[in-house]
Every structure is written in C-alpha cells, then in structure tokens.
Amino acid sequence: MAGMEPVLVTGATGFIGRRVVARLAADGVRVRALVLPAEAATAGAAFAGDVEVRAGDISDAAAVAAAARGVSGIIHLAAVVGDWGPEALFERVTVQGTRNIIDGAVAAGVRLVLASSIVFYGDALGRDVCDEAHPAGRPLGHYSRTKQQQEQLARAAEAERGLALVVVRPGNVYGVGSKLWVDEVVTQLRRGMPVLIDGGHQNAGLAHVDTVVEVLVRGLRTPAARGRSYNANDGGDVTWARYFGDLARLCGARTPRSLPRWAVDGLARVGEAVWTRLGRASRPPITREAVNLVGSHHRTPIERARRELGLVPPVAYDDAIRAIGRSLNR
C-alpha cells in the first residue's frame, strides 16, 4: 500500500484530525497532512507512519490545489469550531476554505469526505428526531450557519460538477484530548459554574472521537457511501447530567448545578447582544449555540451508519470515562 497515492487530510493537527491520520497510517495508507504554515515545522513529530506534511491554509486556493494534486481521496476536517468569533473568520476558513477543497477534489477526480456537524440541524436538534434526511434547521450562530453553507456548497458541486461526496455529521465529540467537551467543561466545573440546563436529563448526543474516525474512514472506503450523509455518534443514552457529573467526580468538583432553559436562553440573547454592541473579541458567558447543544435532547440516530458502513462504536462510555480520568490525574 506504500506506493498508492496519499489521502489528503485537512485539519490534521486537530483533535479528530490527529486520530484520523494515525488510523490511516496504521492501516498502511499514505497520508498527506495539510497543516497551517505556523505548525508545519513541528507537525511531523506528532504523526507516526507514512505521513507527508504540507504547509498551507485552506483559504489559500493555490495551496489547496497543490496539496490535492495526486491524492486518492480527501477527508476535510479543517474549519472554525466554536460558538463565538468574528464572522469574517468563519467565512474565510469554513466557507471559502471548503470551496477550495471542493475545487481540489473535483480537479483530482477523487472522493471528498466532508466533516460537517450536528449543528447542521440548527434549532431542530432538541425538537425533532434528526435523521440524515432532516433538513437544516434555523442556525443559531456563525458556526451552525457556516456548517450549513459547507454542505450546500458540497451538494451543489455534487449536482453540477460530479463531486464524489460523503457527508459526516459528528455529535458532541469527546475523549482524551478533547478541548471543547472535556477540558473546557472541567474548567467550568472547577469554577462551580452551573453547566446543566433543566436538570440535564436530555440525551447528550456524545460521540467518542474513535467513533467519528470510524465513520470518516469507512465513508472514504465504502463505494456505496457516495452521495450519502451519516450521523456519527455513539448511539447511547448518556445524559448531560451523567456526563458532566462524571467529569465533576473525576476532577474533584462538586456536582454541577442547573438553570432553567428559559433563563439560560435569555442570558444568551442578552449576552450576545451586549458583546456584539461593545465589539468584544472574547466569548460571552453563554451563547445560543451552546444552549442549543447542552439544552437539547439529542435524537440523531446512527442506524444508517450501522447498516451501510458496518459501524460498531468502538469505545464504551465507561471505558472512555476511565481513560479521561487517567488523563486528568497525570
């Protein structure tokens, strides 16, 4: 397999990207990792196996075109991930960057596996069962809006330019090394912040990072996956109260407190309005995107991935929590 054309992975130094690169390399697949120029000098040390590091920003069309030349497939992870930030940054990276990646995939004539997100479903997340056929809901911030735009661009290229496309919508991705759903939550718990909404009895829609990697890699390799969208999560029933309570126990914090949804919704709207008017670069204490995720009862079934990709989530929740506990106590 060493002589085959490489698979291009964008966002290769990120939480999911590092695991994708490691998985492909362990399978004997050559990998071309596209990393930001500032990371290029040190990125090689983070990868094991047959990995070629290319420096380039996905918003640079020429850099993307060069990186996509001669590849056998693309897994596109690079995006602005977060519930707050300058709109121009989301547009430049997530939207324009994806446009460049699409152009590169079309020019190379290869399959593009696009890592989208469950925020594609917008405000429908807590209201409906969001299987892959569910349309985009109302976006609640730049993150969900630009993730929806990513998919729209890719579907248009599929219809008009013959792009070979697979869309993957990860849930709330956790595991050792997760900044968003482990490190930042632990920080808030240690501060005694109330991180539960309406008691936290809703399904948290957790997706262990290894589950997401499985769906991405199987989406690249499975011929019948072309043209399909897949939810990527563990398919479990872990609630926010259980997950945040487990993290609190592991980090020595008290059991998280709860606030009613109506109050948190109001705080998010007011906070966003004030921060926008004042032009603050920092994140407000709470945002509508965050409320939509942490306050929703997630029903994003993975039956399609099980049936069409043979997905079996590889890491049990209790095992994942034990691994997180060990990492926090190092």
The pLDDT-based confidence of 310 (bands split at 50, 70, 90) is very high
Contact 68, 107 (CB under 8 A): yes
Cα separation, 285 vs 7, whole angstroms: 39
Predicted pLDDT at 283: 86
Task: Read off the pLDDT of residues 133-179 as tens digits, 9 standing for 90 and up.
Answer: 999 999 999 999 999 999 999 999 999 999 999 999 999 999 999 99
Please compute the mean of the pLDDT values over residues 114-124 and round it to a whole number.
97
Q: Looking at the domain assignment, is residue 53 inside a domain?
A: yes
Q: Which two tokens stand for residue 197?
A: 């909404």
Contact 236, 136 (CB under 8 A): no
Predicted pLDDT at 34: 95
Which is higher by pLDDT, 49 or 27? Answer: 27
Task: Read off the pLDDT of residues 16-25 as tens digits, 9 standing for 90 and up.
Answer: 999 999 999 9
- HSE value, Cβ hemisphere, 13 Å, CA-based, for 205: 24
Number of domains in the chain: 1
Please state the length of the chain: 330
The pLDDT-based confidence of 322 (bands split at 50, 70, 90) is very high
* Nearest C-alpha neighbor of 321 from the set 250, 253, 254: 250
Predicted pLDDT at 2: 44
Q: Looking at the domain assignment, is residue 2 inside a domain?
A: no
Contact 68, 9 (CB under 8 A): no
Distance of CA 254 to the CA centre of its chain: 29
Q: Looking at the domain assignment, is residue 277 inside a domain?
A: no
Q: Looking at the domain assignment, is residue 42 inside a domain?
A: yes
- Percent of the chain surpassing pLDDT 90: 87
Collapsed DSSP state (helix, strand, coil) of residue 9: strand
Q: Looking at the domain assignment, is residue 242 inside a domain?
A: no
pLDDT at 279 over 50: yes
The pLDDT-based confidence of 53 (bands split at 50, 70, 90) is very high
The one-letter code for the residue type at 200 is G
> Could you tell me which residues come within 8 angstroms of residue 65 by beta carbon, excluding any fewer than 6 positions away?
100, 103, 104, 107
Q: Looking at the domain assignment, is residue 91 inside a domain?
A: yes
**Torsion sign across C-alpha atoms 175, 176, 178, 181:** positive
Task: Read off the pLDDT of residues 281-304 as tens digits, 9 standing for 90 and up.
Answer: 888 888 999 999 999 999 999 999
Lowest mean pLDDT segment, chosen from 92-101, 247-256, 262-271, 275-284: 275-284
- Other beta carbons within 10 Å of 109: 9
Lowest mean pLDDT segment, chosen from 75-79, 91-95, 188-192: 188-192
Cα separation, 233 vs 314, whole angstroms: 11
Q: Looking at the domain assignment, is residue 262 inside a domain?
A: no
Radius of gyration in angstroms for the set of CA atoms belonging to the chain, rounded to a whole number:
19
For 132, list phi and psi in degrees, rounded to 5. -65, -20
CATH number for position 165: 3.40.50.720
Q: Looking at the domain assignment, is residue 197 inside a domain?
A: no
pLDDT at 256 over 70: yes
The pLDDT-based confidence of 1 (bands split at 50, 70, 90) is very low
Contact 9, 47 (CB under 8 A): no
Contact 112, 163 (CB under 8 A): yes
pLDDT at 250 over 70: yes
- Other beta carbons within 10 Å of 273: 11
Contact 228, 235 (CB under 8 A): no
The DSSP element (H or E) to which 42 belongs, if any, is: helix 37-43
Beta bridge partners of 251: none
Please compute the mean of the pLDDT values over residues 110-136 and round it to a whole number.
97
Please compute the mean of the pLDDT values over residues 211-222 and round it to a whole number.
98
Token pair 């945002």: residue = 287
- Percent of the chain surpassing pLDDT 70: 99
Please compute the mean of the pLDDT values over residues 40-60 and round it to a whole number.
85
The pLDDT-based confidence of 190 (bands split at 50, 70, 90) is very high
Mean pLDDT of the chain, nearest integer: 94
- HSE value, Cβ hemisphere, 13 Å, CA-based, for 222: 23
Q: Give the orientation angle of helix 15-26 with respect to helix 209-221, to 10 degrees.
A: 50
Q: Which two tokens stand for residue 193?
A: 């912040």
Domain that holds residue 22: 7-171+205-233+299-313
Cα separation, 196 vs 127, whole angstroms: 18
Cα separation, 139 vs 127, whole angstroms: 14
